[in-house]
Amino acid sequence: MVDAVIVGSTGLDDIETPFGKVQSALGGAAIYASYAASFFCKPGIVSIAGKDFPKEHITLLKKRAIDTTGLTIAGKTFRWGGLYEYDMNEAKTLKTELNAMKEFNPAVPPSYRDTDYLFLANIDPALQLRALEQMRHPKFIVMDTMNFWIEHREEILRSVIKKVHALVINDGEARQLFKTTNLVTAASKALSLGPKFVIIKKGEHGALLFSDGIHFSAGGYPLENIKDPTGCGDSFGGGFIGYLAKTNDLSEQNVRKAIVYGSVIASFNAEDFSLKRLQSITGADIEARFKDFRAMREF
Amino acid sequence: MVDAVIVGSTGLDDIETPFGKVQSALGGAAIYASYAASFFCKPGIVSIAGKDFPKEHITLLKKRAIDTTGLTIAGKTFRWGGLYEYDMNEAKTLKTELNAMKEFNPAVPPSYRDTDYLFLANIDPALQLRALEQMRHPKFIVMDTMNFWIEHREEILRSVIKKVHALVINDGEARQLFKTTNLVTAASKALSLGPKFVIIKKGEHGALLFSDGIHFSAGGYPLENIKDPTGCGDSFGGGFIGYLAKTNDLSEQNVRKAIVYGSVIASFNAEDFSLKRLQSITGADIEARFKDFRAMREF
């Protein structure tokens, strides 16, 4: 049994930022999200990696008690190359080699199917749907997406949005999908499709939560040291669902807390390349920054 | 006697946004800031307008009990034209006719000189300095600036920053002045020049406060209806100093509150062109949004 199922990509990334670069570094939405969730609960991943995927990465996941039963090994690992300039809110994609991701057909292992919490990280919405349909009675489904699917799979993307409890989406993508510059309007349109919660991620500026008649604003955590924002959105989503799965409390109040925990994990993630920073933090570090988050907002 | 002295420009603006346009509308940093401050205290302005400046605008200021003893009338009024596209965080300047502002030599009226609170809105730092020097014993000086002065008057700008208690600056300008992309680093460098508080404005994303060892994040207020962001920074600054002048409490806790009140006024300001929205709000509207600001941040 796992506490949260996380569906998404596993990859090896070449990343360059003004603060350094890495090659073939561990990455992918399912990896960042499950690693983030593992601070709160036992996640199980549904993903695909190639035969070239280093064993040490699997060891790393297992050390965090991440269930890898749902990780298929076939072909070559998905590879992504990105460059960040001084405005680190946006990456310039230098290469995308889908490789095994092209053949990815998510198979949710039987041992995962009764899980209450499901995170559909950013992949083709057709695959998100296929994973979702294999779950028996998910209590809380969270999905992420990106501009590519908005441009190429809008219809099926909308049909997946109708089936989830929470949509997590970037500000630019929310504007694009709902054809408005105004985030409040975009959120209303998203809510009208069905989700109870819409969370708009604004990169370093934090995240906004919208639900029926309410909004919640979690500002970004001001970082002295930002090295690599890759995976921040995924680790936000993973921390978010991980905290909800741990507490099993879906009240709006607890959803707000989950957003802050997600933001805390994402803020650590930006402080180093790949999963390096997340590998060095403890539960005490997370609690300390959570408290600081609260203190920096009191008035 | 006035409670806060506000030094800056008076102008007539032509503004176009995706939501409409206005011509020769009341504007200028001193006007927005003093109007915002007038919700909390009695401000006095030090500015210059031309003989073409409509009397009705002066009547409007007087109706809000804004002291206009320091408003010189000479020549032609400063005129600015700006266009906002869908990203309303930045205006494209279409025209700048300095007119009377070229000759502006701020003369602080004797009746203002013992005032404790001084807001040096965005003008040439040489003029900010000249105004500052006419004050007898200002207790709290706040200054704003902009990229033009960073590019053309950096030395004197830095010397003014050394003399103020709070620097209010845009995120992009903070990065430019302190030659770093990182706002935390920029804030540290600003604090090392002398101000006790550094407030970084991030447009729709709110504002950050930095002081010795602390930071405070006031997220932006998510608006359904944004028509014209002109004057938001100025009305933020005016609301900020107005609330401090009213409460006469410079504790960090109260400075946080002042930032939220400034953000509340700025959020109203964006809802219509020129000062139209500010003309329609009451103290009760301000208190209601202040409460909403708190509610949307609780977790």
How far is residue B163's CA from residue B46's CA, in Å, rounded to a whole number?
19
Using CB atoms, which residue from A215, A222, A259 is nearest to B217?
A: A222
Helix axes A29-37, A55-63, angle to 10 degrees: 30
Q: Would you tell me how many other CB atoms lie within 10 Å of the CB of residue B242?
A: 31
Q: CB–CB of B296 and A253 under 8 A?
A: no
Residue B213: per-residue pLDDT: 85
Q: What single DSSP character describes residue A219?
A: P
pTM over cut 0.95 = no
Instruction: Give the A-side interface with B, CB within 8 Å.
Output: 18, 86-88, 181-185, 202, 205-206, 208, 214-220, 222-226, 253, 256-257, 259-260, 294, 296-299
Q: Could you tell me the two tokens for A234?
A: 């995924």
Q: What single DSSP character describes residue B181?
A: S
Q: Which residue, among A153, A122, A89, A133, has the nearest Cα to A235 in the 3D structure?
A: A122
Residue A295: per-residue pLDDT: 93
Q: How far is CA A32 from the centre of its chain?
A: 7
- In tens, the pLDDT along B273-298 reads 999 999 999 999 999 999 999 999 99
Q: What single DSSP character describes residue A194?
A: S
Q: Which residue, among B62, B33, B84, B68, has the nearest Cα to B227 in the 3D structure?
A: B84
Using CB atoms, which residue from A86, A205, A260 is nearest to B181?
A: A86
Q: CB–CB of A298 and B208 under 8 A?
A: no
- In tens, the pLDDT along A215-232 reads 999 988 888 889 999 999
Enumerate the residues of chain B whose CB falls inside 8 A of the CB of residue A217.
206, 219-220, 222, 296-297
Q: Which residue, among B257, B140, B117, B239, has the nearest Cα to B195 in the 3D structure?
A: B140
pLDDT > 70: what percent of chain B? 100
Q: Give the residue carrying structure tokens 């209806």.
A: B225
Q: Give the residue carrying structure tokens 């300001």.
A: B269
Check pLDDT > 80 for residue A87. Answer: no
Surface-to-core class of residue A65, CB atoms within 10 Å of its CB (0-12 exposed, 13-18 middle, 19+ buried) = exposed
**In what side-by-side order are the strands of the sheet with A43-49?**
A67-73, A43-49, A4-7, A117-120, A140-144, A166-170, A197-201, A207-211, A214-218
Using CB atoms, which residue from A215, A222, A299 is nearest to B222?
A: A215
Tell me which chain B residue has its CA closest to the CA of residue A18.
B181
Q: Which residue, among A236, A238, A229, A233, has the nearest Cα to A274 in the 3D structure?
A: A229
- In tens, the pLDDT along A208-219 reads 999 998 899 998
Mean pLDDT of chain A: 96
Residue B263: per-residue pLDDT: 97
Report how far apart, in Å, the C-alpha atoms of B163 and of each of B112, B125, B129 are.
19, 12, 9
Residue B224: per-residue pLDDT: 84
Q: Could you tell me the two tokens for A231?
A: 């995976």
Residue A7: per-residue pLDDT: 98
- 3-state secondary structure (DSSP) of residue A114: coil
Helix H segments across B52-110?
55-63
Helix axes B232-247, B29-37, angle to 10 degrees: 40
Mean pLDDT of B116-131: 97
